[in-house]
């Protein structure tokens, strides 16, 4: 004769509750795991990360190209060249000696600080981006007088050797014209 094992009457609801909690926890884990996976493989997140890399590189390059100390001209111009690519890079290399002579003769120290910046266009496939950077440039003369000038620069970036580099730079138009 076989005996049936009886469970106490009060344990059935506890067993059912444990089973329900286990199923709810498993469902929640699956739902959050799917959400995490979707976020990790979302193109939007990758695009935002690339935009942030382009912005950081662009802001640094614009700052580099607006900073130069007459006592360390070669070091500064090396930094300019390492921050650029394409036609802008070629212009800097071609005009290096003449520009270095002008800076040494003027004996000025120019420093720039980025106030804000934004990527205005990003094409990941072609490796091109555009940005707008606001910066404050301080020029110190040999008699230790300094002047600040705020300016807005438009830059073009090109991805070269896996890094974003400045390939074009110019002043952004300021103000507007009234139409009558």
- What domains can you pick out in the chain, each with its CATH number? 47-171 (3.10.450.50)
Decide if pLDDT at 4 tops 80: no
What is the pLDDT, as a whole number, of residue 7? Answer: 56
- The DSSP output letter for 72 is G
CA distance 133 to 119: 9
What is the pLDDT, as a whole number, of residue 105? Answer: 95
* CA quadruple 88, 103, 136, 114: dihedral sign: positive
Residue 117 half-sphere exposure toward CB, CA atoms < 13 A? 27
Taking the model in full, what pTM does it have?
0.75
Residue 131 half-sphere exposure toward CB, CA atoms < 13 A? 30
pLDDT band at 103 (very low <50, low <70, confident <90, very high): very high
What integer best gives the mean pLDDT of the chain? 90
pLDDT band at 97 (very low <50, low <70, confident <90, very high): very high
Residues 57-88 pLDDT 10s: 999 999 999 999 999 999 999 999 999 999 99
Contact 89, 61 (CB under 8 A): no
What is the pLDDT, as a whole number, of residue 12? Answer: 80
Neighbour-count burial of 42, counting CB atoms closer than 10 A to its CB (0-12 exposed, 13-18 middle, 19+ buried): exposed
Decide if pLDDT at 154 tops 60: yes
Contact 106, 70 (CB under 8 A): yes
């Amino acid at each position: 004769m076989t005996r049936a094992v009886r469970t106490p009457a009060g344990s059935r609801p506890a067993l059912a509750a444990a089973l329900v909690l286990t199923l709810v926890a498993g469902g929640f884990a699956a739902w959050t795991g799917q959400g995490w996976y979707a976020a990790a493989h979302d193109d939007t997140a990758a695009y935002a990360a690339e935009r942030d890399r382009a912005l950081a590189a662009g802001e640094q390059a614009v700052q580099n190209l607006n900073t130069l100390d007459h006592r360390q001209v070669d070091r500064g111009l090396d930094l300019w060249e390492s921050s650029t690519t394409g036609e802008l890079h070629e212009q800097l290399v071609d005009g290096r000696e003449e520009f270095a002579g002008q800076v040494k003769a003027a004996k000025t120290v120019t420093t720039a600080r980025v106030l804000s910046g934004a990527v205005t266009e990003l094409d990941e496939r072609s490796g091109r981006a555009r940005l707008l950077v606001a910066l404050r440039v301080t020029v110190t003369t040999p008699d230790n007088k300094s002047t600040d000038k705020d300016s807005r620069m438009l830059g073009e970036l090109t991805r070269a050797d896996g890094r974003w580099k400045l390939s074009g730079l110019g002043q952004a138009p300021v103000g507007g014209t009234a139409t009558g």
